[in-house]
Structure 1
Amino acid sequence: MQLLTMDQRPPARRDWRVFWRLTRPHTLTAAFVPVCVGTVLALGDTSVDWLLFAAMLLASLLIQAATNMFNEYYDYKRGLDSPESVGIGGAIVRDGLKPKTVLALAFGCLGVAMLIGVYICMESSWWLAAVGTICMAAGYFYTGGPFPIAYTPFGELAAGFFMGCLIILISYFIQTGAIHADVVYVSIPLAIFVGAILLANNIRDLEGDREKGRKTLAILVGRVWAVRLLALMFVAAFLWTVGLVIIGTVPPWALLALVSVRKAVAATRGFIGKVKPLEMMPAMKATAETNTQFGFLLAIGLLISHWL
C-alpha cells in the first residue's frame, strides 16, 4: 500500500477531539485499572500516599498514550493504515495530522512520563528507573523498530506482562517498598484481560494484517480458534480469581469482579460468525469493558474487605 502524499492526505484538523482520539481512549483502561488494583492491594498493608498514586496513574496513562501514538505513526509509515481502515485513531490518514507531529507527541508523552518517574523514584526506589525505562522501551518497540512486537504472536503476552502484571507490581511497590507473591498472583487475571484486548483487536484486523505480512497470534491459530482462545482467556481469568478466594489470597468480596462475566460472554459472542471488521467493533468494545469492569469491581471488593 502506498503512503498518502501531502496532497492526498486531508487538511489537518486542530480540533481537540482529534488529539483525544489519537490517545485511543478505549485502550487507556489497560493503564489505569492495574494502577488502581495495585494501590488498593497496598492499602491492606500500609497507608497510601495519594500523590504517589496520582503520579503513577498519570505516568502509566502517558506511556499507554505514547504507545498508541507510536502505533499510529508506524502503521502509517509501513502502509498499514488508510482512510478506509476500521478502528484506528485515524489522526494521520483521516484527520490530516502530520506524521512527525504524531511522533513528536508520542516522545513528548514519554518525556513527561520520565519526569514523573524521577519523582516516583525519589519517593520510593531508584531501581524503578531501570524498570520504567524497560516499560517505555516496550511501548516504543511494540510497533516501532525493525522487529515490532505487535507484528509477532507475542503481542498479547507482552501487553499482558507490561500493562497488567508489571504496573500492578510497581503500583504496590511504590506504596509498600516490597513485593509479595500474593500480589503477583492477583495480577495474573488482569494481565490476561489486557492480553485479551490485544487479541480482540487482532481478531478484528486478521485479514488485513495477513495481507500486510503481520504474524499475529490470531493469524497463527486462525479466526475460529482465536475466538475460542479469547473465550478460554476469559474463563481462565475468572477461574483464577475464584481460586484466589478459595485459597485465601483475596477475600470473598473479590468475587464481586465476577459480575463482569456477562460482558465477557457478550464480547465472545460478538465475534462468532463475524468476518467484517466493522461488525466486530462492538465485540472489541465489550472486551475492553470486561477489563474495566473486572478491575474496578475487584478493587471495590478489596476496598470493602478493608473497611469491614
Structure 2
Amino acid sequence: MTITNPITQANPQTKSKLWLAAIKPPMYTVAVIPISFGTAFAYFATGIFNLSVFLTFLLSAIAIIAWLNLTNDVFDADTGIDVNKHHSVVNLTGNKTLVFWIANIILLLGLGGIFLINWWQQDWTVLWLILASCFLGYTYQGPPFRLGYQGLGEIICFFTFGPMAIASSYYSQTQSFSGDSLIISSIIGISTSIILFCSHFHQIKDDLAAGKKSPIVRLGTKTGANVLIISVALVYILSTIFTFTGQLPQQCLLVWLSFPVAYQLINHVNQYHHQPEKIKNSKFIAVNFHFLSGILLCLGLWFS
C-alpha cells in the first residue's frame, strides 16, 4: 500500500499559499520594530543616527528571525507537534536536515552583519548582547531546554525583543546604554509577546498531545482572552505614563491611533477564543497591532 503525502500532492496554487504561510513575511516585523525603536530612541535622546549601522543591524535582525522560524519548525518536527501544520517548512520540504543547515547558514549571515558593525566601531558589546539573545531564542524550542513547552515562551519573547533588542540597537548607535530605553522597551516587549500568546489559541489539541503547556493550555481560552485585554491595555497605559513622566515625547501619544486595531484584536479573540478555525488568524491581527503601535511610537520619537 502506497501512502501519499497530501502536501506534495497539493496543486501549485495551494503549495504557493502554504509556502507563503511558511515564510511568514508579516512576522519579520518583530525584527523591524525593536531595531527601529531603539535607533529612534537613540536619535531622540542623543541626536545620533548612523544610517549604515541601522540598515546593517536591520538586515541582520531579519536574518536571525529567519533562523528562529526555521529552527522552530525543525525542533517542532522532533516532538511531532507540527504533524497537522501543513505550512511547516519541514513538512513542505520533507527534509529536516536541509532546513536545519539552511537555518544555521542564515544565522551566520545575520551574525556576520553584527560582527561588521562591531568591527567598524571596535566595540564588541553589541555582538555579545545579540549572542545572548540568540541563546535565549534557542531555549524557546531547542533541546534540551524547550522552555516554550513549559509555557515560558512569552517571557523569553519579552526580554529578547524588548530590553535586549532595544538596548542592542541603542548601543549600536551611541556606544552607551540608557536606563530610560530599557524601561520603555517593556512596551515593545509586551506587544511582541502578544503575537506569540495569540498563536496558541487555535492549537490547544496539538499542544496537549505533544505535552506542551502553553499559557492557553494552562489558563484556558476564556481566561487567556482576559489576559490579552490586560496586555493590550498595558501598551497604551505604559505609553501614556512614560509620556507624562517625560521619558517619551508627547508626540508618542500617536500610538493611540492604533487603538482600532487593538479593539479588533480584543473583540476577535473574545468572540472566537474557543473556536480554533476562527481564532487562528488572531496572531496576524496581533502582528498588525504590534507593527502599527511600534511604528507610531517610532514616528513620535523622530518627529519630536
TM over 0.5: yes
Q: Within 5 Å, which residues of 2 pair with 1:45-60?
A: 45-60=46-61
Check 1:143–1:37 CA distance in 2 against 1; reply closer, same or farther (3 A cut): same
Q: Where does residue 97 of structure 2 map in the other structure?
A: 100
Aligned-residue CA RMSD (Å): 2.3
The 1-side partners of 2:175 and 2:16 are apart by 39
Task: For 1:1-308, list aligned pairs within 5 A.
Answer: 8=5, 10-11=7-8, 21-44=21-44, 45-82=46-83, 84-85=84-85, 89-93=87-91, 95-124=92-121, 125-274=123-272, 275-305=274-304
Which consecutive unaligned segments of at least 5 residues does structure 2 have? none
SS of 1:253's partner is: helix
Distance 1:121 1:279 in 2: 46
User: How far 1:71 moved relative to its partner?
Assistant: 1.1
Conserved? CA contact 2:34–2:165, under 8 Å: yes
Which secondary structure does the structure 1 equivalent of 2:90 belong to?
A: coil
Query: Do the aligned partners of residues 60 and 259 (structure 1) sit closer, same or farther apart at CA in structure 2, a change above 3 Å counting?
Result: same
After TM superposition, the structure 1 stretch with the greater mean CA deviation from structure 2, 60-69 or 125-134, is 125-134
More helix by share: 2
Distance 2:40 2:284 in 1: 26
Compared with structure 1, are the counterparts of its residues 89 and 43 closer, same or farther at alpha carbon in structure 2 (3 Å cutoff)?
farther
The count of aligned residue pairs is 297
Contact 2:167 / 2:181 at 8 angstroms: preserved in 1? yes
CA contact (8 A) 1:12 1:96 kept: no
Deviation readout 1:118-157 (Å, 9 max, x if unpaired): 1121134212232221122222222111221221221101
- CA distance in 2 between partners of 1:89 and 1:247 (Å): 45
Q: Following TM superposition, by how much is the alpha carbon of 1:16 offset from its aligned partner in structure 2, in angstroms? A: 8.4
C-alpha distance in structure 2 between counterparts of 1:64 and 1:158, whole Å: 14
Cα displacement (A) at 1:114: 1.6
Q: In 2, are the aligned partners of 1:80 and 1:212 still within 8 Å (CA)? A: yes
Letter in 2 for 1:27: M
Change in Cα spacing, 1:229 to 1:51, as seen in structure 2 (3 Å) is: same
- Decide whether the 8 Å contact of 2:199 with 2:282 is kept in 1: no
Q: Report if aligned partners of 1:66, 1:139 keep a CA contact under 8 Å in 2.
A: no
Letter in 2 for 1:144: G
* SS of residue paired to 2:82: coil
The runs of 5 or more residues in structure 1 that have no matched partner are: none
Change (3 A) 1:26 1:77: same
Q: Is the 8 A contact 1:200 1:284 kept in 2?
A: yes
